C-alpha cells in the first residue's frame, strides 16, 4: 500500500496538475473517491497555488464537485463515501487521524451551489462562525467582523440598515454574497465554491464574479463551474475533469486557446458536455 | 408539383382533424374520470365529517345535561341537641401526641354517630311540612353522601354547632333522573324506583323552584362514589390522568427525542441499527394491551411497584408513546434540508453544534407536534391501565403518583357499566366531554406551539 503510494507519487512528477513554480497551498496525490464500490474519482494529482483562482470545469458527473468536497472533507458526511490517497494543506495530511475536521473547515471554507443562509438574521449569519471558533470575544469585535465581512462581500451598503432582518429575506444574489461573507468571516485560507452562480441571474452572477476576483487578493479560491466563460473570466488556472479523471490543468488562457488534450478541446468547443 | 403540394396539405389537414377528434373523444372520458374521482373524494370527506358531527352531537346531547344536576338549596341548622358531642379535644398538659390523636379519633367517631340525617330532614320539612310523619321517605330526596358532608364540615369547624348555614344539597340520583324526564312516568308503581310520594314531592318542589338544576361542581370536585351516586365525580380520575400525563411528558418526550436524534444523526448505519429501526416501527404497531401486560409483569411483579398507581400507568404509557415520539422526531429531523447542515459544517461547526444550533430548532415544531399527539394518545388509552389495576374503585384523590388512583378513560369505562343506567349514561358522556376537552386543549396547545416556533424562523 505504502509502496503503491510512493510509486504513484513518483509517477506523478511532471504529470498534469503538479506544479513546480509558486507557493503551493494544497496538494492532492492519487486522490481517489469511492461511493460504495464504485470509484468516482480515479487518482487525481493536483497542486493548488496560494492566492490563485483555480477553476474546475467538465461535464456533469465528471467528479469535479466530488474532488472539491474532498478538499475540506465534506465528503465525510456522505454515507458510503471513501477517500484514498493523500491530500495536504500546507504540507499537513488533512485525512490524518490527528487532524481535527472542525479546524480544517475553519481553514478551508466553502460556498455552496444553492444559497443556503441560516434562517436567522443577517448579523447572526455572519457572526455564527466567528462566535463558534471564539474569533471575536466582545460584541464590538463581533460587530467589526460582521461589518468587515459584509464589506468584503460587497453587501454592506445593501444591508447595513437591516442587519436584524432574516437572511432568507434577501434576493438570491444577495443571499449568495451573504454566504460568501459568512465563509469569509471565519478568515479561512482557502475558499471552495461549488457552482456558486448556477442559481443566480446574470447581474447577480456578475457581482459574484467581481467579488471572486477581489477576494483572490487575500484568499486561495477553488471554484467549480459549468460556465466556461465564467472560468475564463475569473480564474488564473483551469482544471478540466472528465469521467473521474483530471485530464488537464493549465493557465486559463492556455486551456481555452491551446488545450493539449483532445477531450479538453472537444469540451471547450462544445462538442460534448 | 403544385397538385402534390395540394394533396399533401389536404392529407395533413385530414390527419389533424382526425387527431383532434380522437383527442376530443378521450377528453370526455378523462374529464369524467376526474369528476368521478373528485366526487368520490368529496363524498368520503362529507361522510367522515357527518360521522364526526353525529358523534359530537350525541355525546353533547347526552353529556351536557349532566353538567347541571338537581340540587336543593336549604338552610341547615346544626342543632346542638342532635349533634351530641363534647368539645373538640385539645392538648392536655403532660399528654403525648399519640394520646391526643387517639382522643381526637374517639371524638370523630362520636361525631359520626350523631343523627346527621335528622338535620337534613329538619331542613327539608320547611318545604314539605306534611312529611313530618314520613321522615325516612323524605330523606330519600337527598343523596346519601350529603350527611357525611355535614359531618366533615363540623369536623373542620366545630364552631358551626348551633349555627344556621345555607347549603346546596345534591338530590338523589333517581330524583335527578326523574326530573330530567329519563324515567318513564307511565310505569306502574311496582316498577318505579321512587315511591309515589317521593315522585309527588319531587315534582312539587321542582315546580316551586326549591329543587333546581344548578351547575354540578360535584362532577369535578368529588371522587367516584358507589353509595351516593349523585355525588360521583371525576376528581380522582382527573388527578390520575394528569399525573400520568406529567410522567409521560417527563419520560417519553426527552428519551424519545434523544433516541431519535442519536439514531438519525449519530448512529452508524449497519445491521444492528437497521434492526433497532425495524423494531421501533413494529413497536408502534403493538396493541396497547400488550404494554399493560408488560407493565404488570415488570413494574408490578418484578419491581414491586404499587398496584393501581399513576406511576406505573405513566411508565406503561411512556413505553407505549416512545415509538410515536421517536418516529415523529426522526421524520421532523429528516425533513430539514441538507443545505442547512452543509452550511453549518462548511464553516466548521462540529456535528453536535450543527444539530443543536441549526437542525433541532428548525425541527422543533414537528417534534413538538409529534410529542403532543403521542401524549394525547396516551391519556386516551384504557386497555393497558386495566391490566395494572387502574380499574379498581378508588374513592380518593391521589396525593402523589404512588397513591392508588384511576384515570379518565377508565372512569368512563367504569361508569358505562354502572347499574343505574339512566343516570350514568349522562354522567359517562359528561366524562367523555371532559376527556375530549383535555385532548382538544392539548392539540390546540400543539398548534399554538407550532405556529409560534414557525414564526420565529
Distance from the Cα of A114 to chain B's closest Cα (Å) equals: 8
| B79 & B195 share domain | yes
In a domain, B51, yes or no: no
* Spatial contact of B139 and B227, defined as CB atoms under 8 Å apart: no
In a domain, B60, yes or no: no
Q: d(Cα A148, Cα A138) in Å, to the nearest integer?
A: 15
Distance from the Cα of A20 to chain B's closest Cα (Å) equals: 30
pLDDT score at B455: 58
Distance from the Cα of B450 to chain A's closest Cα (Å) equals: 16
Domain that holds residue B183: 68-215
pLDDT in tens, A165-189: 999 999 989 999 999 999 999 999 9
Q: Which residues of B touch A182 (CB under 8 A)?
A: 343, 347
Q: d(Cα B322, Cα A121) in Å, to the nearest integer?
A: 35
| B206 & B244 share domain | no
In a domain, B8, yes or no: no
Say how many C-beta atoms besides its own lie within 10 A of residue A182's C-beta.
29
| B245 & B203 share domain | no
Task: Supply A176's cell numbers.
Answer: 449568495
Cβ within 8 Å, pair A128-B339: no
Indicate which of B269, B347, B351, B353 best probes the interface with A, i.e. most A CBs within 10 Å of its own CB: B347
Rounded average pLDDT per 10-residue block, chain A, 273 residues: 49 51 86 91 92 92 91 88 92 89 92 92 94 89 93 90 92 92 93 91 90 91 92 93 92 91 89 64
Cβ within 8 Å, pair A114-B347: no
| B428 & B391 share domain | yes
Nearest by CB to residue B353, choosing from A77, A119, A132, is A132
| B285 & B185 share domain | no
Max CA pair span of chain B: 138
Q: Which residues of B touch A183 (CB under 8 A)?
A: 346-347
What's the CA dihedral at B173, B178, B182, B183 to 10 degrees?
A: 110
Cβ within 8 Å, pair B339-A72: no
Count of CB pairs separated by less than 8 Å, A with B: 64
Say how many C-beta atoms besides its own lie within 10 A of residue B237's C-beta.
28
Indicate which of A132, A178, A199 best probes the interface with B, i.e. most B CBs within 10 Å of its own CB: A132
Please check whether residue A169 touches B, CB under 8 A: no
Spell B130-163 as b/e; 16+ CB within 10 A means b.
Answer: ebeeeeebbbbbbbbbbbebbbeebbeebebeee
In a domain, B411, yes or no: yes
Q: d(Cα A30, Cα B240) in Å, to the nearest integer?
A: 68
| B207 & B255 share domain | no
Nearest by CB to residue B346, choosing from A103, A105, A120, is A105
In a domain, B228, yes or no: no
| B197 & B257 share domain | no
pLDDT score at B310: 93
pLDDT score at A268: 87
B107 pLDDT above the threshold of 70: yes
Nearest by CB to residue A186, choosing from B340, B341, B348, is B348
Distance from the Cα of A94 to chain B's closest Cα (Å) equals: 14
Percent share of chain B, pLDDT over 70: 98
User: What is this model's ipTM?
Assistant: 0.85
Cβ within 8 Å, pair A109-B346: yes
Burial of A71 (0-12, 13-18, 19+ CB in 10 A): buried
All domains of chain A in start order, with CATH: 2-268 (3.40.50.300)
B340 pLDDT above the threshold of 80: yes
pLDDT in tens, B300-322: 999 999 989 999 999 999 999 99
Q: What is the mean pLDDT of residues B46-72?
A: 94
| B254 & B368 share domain | yes
Cβ within 8 Å, pair B347-A79: no
Q: What is the mean pLDDT of residues B214-218?
A: 91
- Residue B393: pLDDT band with limits 50, 70, 90: confident
pLDDT score at A8: 47
Mean pLDDT of all residues belonging to chain B: 90
* Spatial contact of B74 and B215, defined as CB atoms under 8 Å apart: no
User: Where residue B295 sits, what CATH number does that domain have?
Assistant: 1.10.3720.10
| B195 & B279 share domain | no
Please check whether residue A72 touches B, CB under 8 A: yes
Distance from the Cα of A110 to chain B's closest Cα (Å) equals: 5
| B281 & B310 share domain | yes
B454 pLDDT above the threshold of 90: no
In a domain, B375, yes or no: yes
pLDDT score at A272: 66
| B272 & B152 share domain | no
How many domains does one find in chain B?
A: 2
In a domain, B246, yes or no: yes
Q: d(Cα A70, Cα A60) in Å, to the nearest integer?
A: 17
* Spatial contact of B412 and B431, defined as CB atoms under 8 Å apart: yes
Between A124 and B6, residue with greater pLDDT: A124
| B303 & B434 share domain | yes
Of A231, A110, A234, the residue nearest A179 (C-alpha): A110
In DSSP terms, A29 is beta-bridged to: A86
pLDDT score at A19: 56
In a domain, B342, yes or no: yes
**H or E segment to which residue B76 belongs:** strand B68-77
Amino acid at each position: 500500500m505504502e509502496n503503491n503510494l510512493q510509486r504513484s507519487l513518483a509517477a506523478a512528477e511532471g504529470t498534469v496538475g503538479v506544479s513546480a513554480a509558486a507557493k503551493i497551498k494544497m496538494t492532492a496525490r492519487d486522490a481517489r473517491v469511492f461511493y460504495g464500490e464504485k470509484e468516482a474519482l480515479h487518482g487525481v494529482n493536483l497542486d493548488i497555488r496560494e492566492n490563485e483562482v483555480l477553476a474546475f470545469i467538465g461535464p456533469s458527473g465528471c467528479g469535479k464537485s466530488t474532488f472539491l468536497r474532498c478538499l475540506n472533507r465534506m465528503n465525510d458526511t456522505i454515507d458510503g463515501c471513501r477517500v484514498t490517497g493523500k491530500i495536504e494543506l500546507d504540507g499537513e495530511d488533512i485525512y490524518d487521524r490527528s487532524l481535527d475536521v472542525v479546524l480544517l473547515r475553519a481553514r478551508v471554507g466553502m460556498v455552496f451551489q444553492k444559497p443556503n443562509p441560516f434562517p436567522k438574521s443577517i448579523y447572526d449569519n455572519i457572526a455564527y462562525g466567528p462566535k463558534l471558533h471564539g474569533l471575536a470575544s466582545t460584541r464590538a469585535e463581533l460587530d467589526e467582523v460582521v461589518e468587515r465581512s459584509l464589506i468584503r462581500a460587497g453587501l454592506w451598503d445593501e444591508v447595513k440598515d437591516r442587519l436584524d432582518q432574516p437572511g432568507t429575506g434577501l434576493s438570491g444574489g444577495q443571499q449568495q454574497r451573504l454566504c460568501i461573507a459568512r465563509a469569509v468571516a471565519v478568515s479561512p485560507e482557502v475558499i471552495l465554491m461549488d457552482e456558486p452562480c448556477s442559481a443566480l441571474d446574470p447581474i447577480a452572477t456578475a457581482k459574484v464574479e467581481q467579488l471572486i476576483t477581489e477576494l483572490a487578493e487575500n484568499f486561495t479560491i477553488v471554484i467549480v463551474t459549468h460556465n466556461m466563460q465564467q472560468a475564463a473570466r475569473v480564474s488564473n488556472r483551469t482544471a478540466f475533469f472528465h469521467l473521474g479523471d483530471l485530464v488537464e490543468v493549465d493557465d486559463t488562457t492556455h486551456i481555452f486557446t491551446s488545450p493539449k488534450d483532445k477531450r479538453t478541446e472537444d469540451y471547450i468547443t462544445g462538442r460534448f458536455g | 408539383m403544385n397538385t402534390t403540394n395540394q394533396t399533401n396539405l389536404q392529407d395533413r389537414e385530414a390527419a389533424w382533424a382526425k387527431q383532434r377528434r380522437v383527442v376530443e373523444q378521450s377528453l370526455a372520458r378523462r374529464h369524467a374520470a376526474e369528476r368521478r374521482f373528485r366526487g368520490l373524494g368529496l363524498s368520503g370527506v362529507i361522510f367522515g365529517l357527518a360521522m364526526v358531527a353525529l358523534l359530537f352531537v350525541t355525546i353533547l346531547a347526552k353529556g351536557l345535561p349532566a353538567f347541571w344536576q338537581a340540587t336543593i338549596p336549604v338552610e341547615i341548622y346544626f342543632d346542638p341537641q342532635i349533634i351530641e358531642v363534647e368539645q373538640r379535644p385539645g392538648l392536655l398538659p403532660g399528654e403525648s401526641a399519640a394520646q391526643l390523636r387517639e382522643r381526637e379519633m374517639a371524638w370523630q367517631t362520636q361525631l359520626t354517630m350523631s343523627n346527621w340525617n335528622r338535620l337534613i330532614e329538619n331542613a327539608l320539612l320547611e318545604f314539605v311540612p306534611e312529611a313530618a310523619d314520613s321522615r325516612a321517605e323524605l330523606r330519600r330526596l337527598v343523596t346519601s353522601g350529603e350527611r357525611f358532608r355535614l359531618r366533615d364540615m363540623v369536623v373542620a369547624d366545630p364552631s358551626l354547632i348551633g349555627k344556621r348555614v345555607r347549603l346546596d344539597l345534591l338530590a338523589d340520583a333517581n330524583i335527578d333522573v326523574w326530573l330530567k324526564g329519563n324515567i318513564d312516568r307511565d310505569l306502574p308503581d311496582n316498577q318505579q324506583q321512587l315511591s309515589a310520594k317521593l315522585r309527588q314531592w319531587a315534582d312539587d318542589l321542582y315546580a316551586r323552584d326549591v329543587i333546581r338544576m344548578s351547575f354540578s361542581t360535584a362532577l369535578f370536585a368529588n371522587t367516584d362514589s358507589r353509595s351516593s351516586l349523585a355525588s360521583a365525580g371525576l376528581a380522582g380520575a382527573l388527578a390520575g390522568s394528569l399525573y400520568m400525563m406529567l410522567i409521560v411528558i417527563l419520560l417519553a418526550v426527552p428519551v424519545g427525542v434523544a433516541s431519535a436524534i442519536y439514531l438519525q444523526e449519530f448512529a452508524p448505519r449497519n445491521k444492528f441499527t437497521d434492526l433497532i429501526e425495524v423494531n421501533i416501527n413494529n413497536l408502534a404497531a403493538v396493541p396497547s394491551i400488550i404494554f399493560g401486560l408488560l407493565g404488570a409483569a415488570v413494574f408490578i411483579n418484578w419491581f414491586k411497584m404499587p398496584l393501581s398507581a399513576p406511576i406505573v400507568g405513566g411508565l406503561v404509557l411512556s413505553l407505549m408513546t416512545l415509538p410515536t415520539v421517536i418516529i415523529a422526531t426522526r421524520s421532523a429531523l429528516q425533513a430539514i434540508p441538507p443545505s442547512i447542515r452543509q452550511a453549518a459544517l462548511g464553516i466548521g461547526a462540529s456535528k453536535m453544534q450543527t444539530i443543536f444550533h441549526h437542525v433541532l430548532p428548525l425541527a422543533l415544531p414537528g417534534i413538538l407536534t409529534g410529542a403532543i399527539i403521542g401524549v394525547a394518545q396516551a391519556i386516551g388509552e384504557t386497555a393497558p391501565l386495566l391490566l395494572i389495576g387502574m380499574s379498581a374503585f378508588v374513592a380518593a384523590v391521589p396525593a402523589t403518583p404512588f397513591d392508588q388512583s384511576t384515570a379518565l378513560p377508565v372512569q368512563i369505562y367504569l361508569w358505562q357499566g354502572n347499574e343505574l343506567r339512566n343516570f350514568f349514561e349522562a354522567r359517562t358522556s359528561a366524562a367523555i366531554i371532559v376527556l375530549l376537552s383535555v385532548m382538544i386543549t392539548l392539540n390546540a396547545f400543539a398548534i399554538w406551539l407550532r405556529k409560534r416556533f414557525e414564526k420565529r424562523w
